[in-house]
Amino acid sequence: MGLPPLEFSDCYLDSPQFRERLKSHETELEKTNKFIKELIKDGKSLVAAHKTLSSAKRKFAGSLNEFKFRCIGDAETDDEICIARSLQEFAAVLGNLEDERMRMIENAGEVLITPLEKFRKEQIGAAKEVKKKYDKETEKYCSVLEKHMNLSSRKKEVHLHEADSQVDQMRQHFYEVSLEYVLKIHEVQERKMFEFVEPLLAFLQGLFTFYHHGYELAKDFSDFKTQLTISIQNTRDRFEGTRSEVEALMKKMKENPHEQQTFSPFTMEGYLYIQEKRHFGTSWVKHYCTYQRDSKQITLVPFDQKSGGKVGEEEVVFLKSCIRRKTDSIEKRFCFDVELVDRSTTLTMQALSEDDRRLWMEAMDGREPVYNSNKDSQSEGFAQLDSIGFSIIRKCIQAVETRGINEQGLYRIVGVNSRVQKLLNLLMDPKIAIEADTEISSDWEIKTITSALKTYLRMLPGPLMTYQFQRSFIKAAKLENHESRIKEIHCLIHRLPQKNRQMLNMLMKHLSNVAANHKQNLMTVANLGVVFGPTLLRPQEETVAAIMDIKFQNIVVEIIIENHEKVSSTLLKTRLHASVIYDARSPSFLARLQIRTVIFMDNAHVSLALGLFDIDVIFHIHASVISADSSPKSLFSIDFFTLAYFFH
């Protein structure tokens, strides 16, 4: 399993689970930092110590072979697998070079040492500085919060408001620093996939030019080198694409932290101070609490945000009732009482603010007013998969293929937004749309037309490949075997709604034509996957984990483009088994069949479907009718074999 994604929404809650995930990333960064330092040290020894060249190179190769990449997410793309495997490949090359006892190349320091030192200082070093700032702000915020919680409610209202405002500012500042720290960790973890491996690749390339054996080895290595270079570039491109998405998500979290939280299995969760009675008075202990409305289960975890560790055992209780605590009945503010099923005593809890108490009271069905922080869902546009929609896409494709198929950066270069909207408004006019013979005027630039096509697809109520099958397509792209990916994606496409499938086939046929002209337009299948993956397979939830899956969305689109003809037109072999109640008095009869349908594709089992069908069947059966009650009816078992398209 790879490193768990760090969600920006977790920065607001700052839960124990979030801190544990954060620690795993910090440990991985420290491990990478130590490894790079060791690798730099080994590289310098390799250049300087000619007498000990053999041992130095073998140690360097051993270090490469032992290190294993850990990617964010639960699966790796082919490019990431290739990059992760590259260190072992490099180690093998160095081992072969050592057999010939060759010298270290003179420019090793420039192509290897300097980039690694730069990455360690500029990236990992910067992450450490942000961590120091994050730890400092954590301690400062918690100290201010604890002091604030101890304010007496009898103080003047003006003083209380000033204190509340100060805490809110500290909380917002702590939240922003936490978001920046998470962003920096993600950035460094992603950057190391190309900025770390690329210098090693350059170092090896230099070796090949100096040694005869290195030249021979380079010929054997060339295929993997090409694949690795493409993988590094693809990984870099995906990083650049996902980086903007992650930054945009972070900005949303800064602006509306409550509204952008991810879906949680809990009705409510967060920190509460719980009153604990002691022999010599009472104390307030900070807990991270979760509550599930269906089961009325409350989980209490004593946790110290400063140290990032638990200070006691987790406790599970069940809610009986929740009552707001009157301000004049207790010195603390924002308090409420919780009566439990399995306890005779009542727990007094203190929320972090009045709004926080209101949310807890709402979740526990207390007497606070209903507070709803959810926004009404809004329509994503008026685009539909109707005759107008098909007409718009068809006209855009026709214009591109007629006069812009060889334009460089096709679909990657975007048009001016105002022009794109103007063209879409024109094409979506019912009077214009119904005129099938009308072409898009040559006055419109190709980049405007391609942007209009992409924008219309994004305006659909749901992605073209549907939310329903989005995770299934991603799962298919994560299969290890390439043929298995193709077959599973093939099957999923035929399960799409008919209009979605028709639109997808039309689009993929066009993109296949675009890719066929990649030498002129520079748009390879991989480039088109980067452009259309997030549009055709956008997720319902906008999270960091979803953004990390964009690379697999791109792979799905690449596979469909490369196998367009097979995916869109291959016949599926269907085998039907039916049990028929036959009326021997008539050769023509109406039978209700219990049919079990097994789909086969390229001799590989794909799926199983059950159904009841009413059909008119005409048979000429020569058989003896045997019945215990002399009835002219008998049961026959008949197998049917047919070739047919499979429709969802």
pLDDT, tens digit (0-9, with 9 covering 90-100), for 362-392: 888 876 433 333 333 333 346 889 888 999 9
Q: What is the mean pLDDT of residues 96-113?
A: 73
Inside any domain, residue 511: yes
What pLDDT, on the 0 to 100 scale, is given for residue 562? Answer: 93
Inside any domain, residue 2: no
Query: What does R_g of the chain's alpha carbons equal in angstroms?
Result: 32
Is the same domain home to 539 and 577?
no
Is the same domain home to 515 and 477?
yes
Predicted confidence band at 522 (pLDDT cuts at 50, 70, 90)?
very high
What pLDDT, on the 0 to 100 scale, is given for residue 531? Answer: 93
Is the same domain home to 283 and 247?
no
pLDDT over 60 at 547, yes or no: yes
CB 342 within 8 Å of CB 299: no
What pLDDT, on the 0 to 100 scale, is given for residue 401? Answer: 95
What pLDDT, on the 0 to 100 scale, is given for residue 640? Answer: 35
Strand, helix or coil at 178?
helix
Q: How many CA atoms lie within 13 A of 466 on its CB side?
A: 15
pLDDT over 60 at 164, yes or no: yes
What pLDDT, on the 0 to 100 scale, is given for residue 630? Answer: 38
- The percent of residues above 90 in pLDDT, for the chain, comes to 28
What pLDDT, on the 0 to 100 scale, is given for residue 500? Answer: 94
CATH number at residue 509: 1.10.555.10
Predicted confidence band at 48 (pLDDT cuts at 50, 70, 90)?
confident
pLDDT over 90 at 583, yes or no: no
Q: What digits encode the pLDDT tens for the residues 288-303?
A: 999 998 889 999 998 8
Q: What secondary structure letter does DSSP report for 399?
A: H
Is the same domain home to 37 and 171?
yes
What is the signed CA dihedral for 85, 89, 92, 96, rounded to 10 degrees?
180
CB 69 within 8 Å of CB 31: no
Strand, helix or coil at 43?
helix
What does the DSSP assignment read for 436-493? Answer: TTPPPPTTS-HHHHHHHHHHHHHHSSS-TT-STTHHHHHHHHT-SSHHHHHHHHHHHH
pLDDT over 50 at 530, yes or no: yes
The top-scoring range by mean pLDDT among 59-68, 437-446, 484-493, 632-641 is 484-493
Inside any domain, residue 374: no
Kind plus residue range of the DSSP H or E element containing 57: helix 53-66
What pLDDT, on the 0 to 100 scale, is given for residue 136? Answer: 92
Inside any domain, residue 170: yes
What pLDDT, on the 0 to 100 scale, is given for residue 434? Answer: 62
pLDDT over 50 at 486, yes or no: yes
Q: What is the mean pLDDT of residues 124-141?
A: 91
Structure-model confidence comparison of residues 497 and 330, the more confident one: 497
pLDDT over 50 at 216, yes or no: yes
Inside any domain, residue 579: yes
Is the same domain home to 46 and 138?
yes
Q: End of a domain among 348, 363, 378? A: 363
CB 467 within 8 Å of CB 430: no
Is the same domain home to 82 and 146?
yes
Buried b (16+ CB within 10 A) or exposed e, 29-49: beebbebbeebbebbbbbbee
Inside any domain, residue 556: yes
CB 207 within 8 Å of CB 96: no
**Residue for token pair 């594709």:** 601
Is the same domain home to 412 and 341?
no
What pLDDT, on the 0 to 100 scale, is given for residue 433? Answer: 63
Is the same domain home to 91 and 223?
yes
What is the average pLDDT value for the chain, to the nearest integer?
Answer: 79
Cα gap 509→472, rounded to integer Å: 22
CB 399 within 8 Å of CB 439: yes
Inside any domain, residue 164: yes
Is the same domain home to 291 and 248?
no
pLDDT over 60 at 97, yes or no: yes
Q: What is the mean pLDDT of residues 177-197?
A: 88
Q: What digits encode the pLDDT tens for the residues 60-86?
A: 888 988 888 777 777 778 888 888 888
Predicted confidence band at 475 (pLDDT cuts at 50, 70, 90)?
very high
Inside any domain, residue 1: no
- Mean pLDDT is lowest, of 13-27, 306-320, 328-342, 424-438, for 424-438
Name the domain count of the chain: 4
What pLDDT, on the 0 to 100 scale, is given for residue 488? Answer: 92
CB 82 within 8 Å of CB 14: no
What pLDDT, on the 0 to 100 scale, is given for residue 289? Answer: 93
What pLDDT, on the 0 to 100 scale, is given for residue 646? Answer: 34
Q: What is the mean pLDDT of residues 320-325?
A: 87
Cα gap 549→242, rounded to integer Å: 9
Is the same domain home to 247 and 302?
no
pLDDT over 90 at 569, yes or no: no
What pLDDT, on the 0 to 100 scale, is given for residue 359? Answer: 87
Is the same domain home to 238 and 294?
no
What pLDDT, on the 0 to 100 scale, is given for residue 280? Answer: 67
CB 564 within 8 Å of CB 508: yes
Predicted confidence band at 585 (pLDDT cuts at 50, 70, 90)?
very low
Is the same domain home to 440 and 357?
no
What pLDDT, on the 0 to 100 scale, is given for residue 625? Answer: 34
What does the DSSP assignment read for 600-644? Answer: EETTEEEEEEEEEEEEEEE---------TT--SEEEEEEEEEEEE
Q: What digits encode the pLDDT tens for the residues 1-46?
A: 578 888 888 888 888 998 898 899 999 899 999 999 999 888 888 7
Predicted confidence band at 221 (pLDDT cuts at 50, 70, 90)?
confident
Q: What is the mean pLDDT of residues 328-357?
A: 85
Q: End of a domain among 201, 226, 255? A: 255
- Tell me which residue range forms the domain holding 616: 572-644
What pLDDT, on the 0 to 100 scale, is given for residue 163? Answer: 85
Q: What's the longest Cα–Cα distance across the chain?
A: 103
What pLDDT, on the 0 to 100 scale, is given for residue 305? Answer: 77
Structure-model confidence comparison of residues 543 and 591, the more confident one: 543
Structure-model confidence comparison of residues 601 and 73, the more confident one: 73
Q: End of a domain among 545, 569, 593? A: 569
